[in-house]
Amino acid sequence: MLKTLFLGLTLGGLALSANACDEQAADYTTCIAQQYRQPVAQWPAPQVDADVQWQEMAALPAHAPAPPENTFSEAKAGLGKKLFNDPKLSRSGQIACASCHEADMAFADGRRVSFGHDRQSGRRNAPSLVMSGYSPALFWDGRGGNLEQQAMHPIVDPVEMAFDIPQLLQRLNTDSAYREEFAQVFGPGPITTQQTAQALATFQRTLVSATRNTAFEQLLRGRPQRMSDEQLYGLHLFRTKARCMNCHFGPALSDEQFHNVGLSYYGRKYEDLGRYEVTRKPEDVGAFRTPSLRLVMKTAPWMHNGLFVNMEGTLAFYNMGMPRPRPSAQQVNDPLFPRTSDRLKALNMDKDELRALRSFLDTL
């Protein structure tokens, strides 16, 4: 019994708060890292604002949760993958979903903004689709809804794939291979918009598998061997001093909310009113959906406009609290003048802390 009590006290010690480590000690980083080599339930609690309904970080399933009206099957995912990679879904027959969401770039495309029909430039950066199955409001401004609701938007967008639904369905229904594959998944009958959207959505829910071999995902699965002390210290900062976990938490590392990070460029080149274009609410001017940070180092350039090309510079902006634009004399009484979110505060992290945080992001 004494042995059991001793073991319990020892394991309990591993779950102590970060205050158990002496910040002035030479082994402070090692002490912090050791706490994050334990199961997630024993990690120090994050420091988040009182009104944040956060969720603990967690390992990902084989695919994102599917709604009851579109249950998951491997056959449906396979059909969706074929559609996702097929330029037949565009008017020109030259642009596929995969043209702007490339597998080796975490299903983003590495450009500031994507090229679409007739080489037109899009308005916003193409986001990674890896965690798209977790979002109820896709696109940077949330107008897309869930994966099923969002699926047809790029196909009919005149700047992206520039097609229309009747012609798309005609093209699919006159393709004998597609008719056979749709029938195998959905049963006999003509190919419909709903079936096409459901197949595309089902495939995109499998994209979480792209994270499976990351050091962070392995850590969450109880295998911390690939994480260095510095990276684990960066994880600790992410959850505490850096304030990242106010918006980036849960399995997908996103709160799926909309925040103004000071980059609306209101009244200037690159102006983008963000969520306001959907809701018409003044408080939504310049607010954009929180992106997942899974595989973040593969998704540069960052932000809705793709203007941030260097992670060290991006972290420097967050360290200073992000921009807080002030209205000009002509804008003082403008009810739409955007306000940077109060979630963002000056962090005062030193160069070693910024390096550790940057090192942690490499593991995601």
The CA–CA distances, whole Å, from 48 to 247, 248, 258 equal 9, 11, 17
The CA–CA distances, whole Å, from 246 to 48, 161, 241, 243, 249 equal 5, 36, 11, 6, 7
Its sign, for the CA torsion 246, 251, 252, 255, is negative
Structure tokens at 258: 């909309």
Q: Which helix (H) or strand (E) holds 259?
A: strand 258-260
| Bridge partners of residue 102, in order along the sequence | 108
Answer yes or no: is 31 a known binding residue.
no
Beta carbons within 8 Å of 53's beta carbon, 6+ residues apart: none
In angstroms, the CA 101 to CA 120 distance is 17
In angstroms, the CA 264 to CA 273 distance is 6
Asked if residue 259 lies in contact with residue 247, where contact means CB atoms within 8 angstroms, the answer is yes
Q: Cα-Cα-Cα-Cα dihedral of 200, 124, 343, 16, to 10°? A: 50
In angstroms, the CA 82 to CA 208 distance is 18
Structure tokens at 177: 């291979």
Answer yes or no: is 21 a known binding residue.
no
Answer yes or no: is 248 a known binding residue.
yes
Binding positions for heme c are 97, 100-101, 117, 244, 247-248
* Binding-site sequence positions: 97, 100-101, 117, 244, 247-248
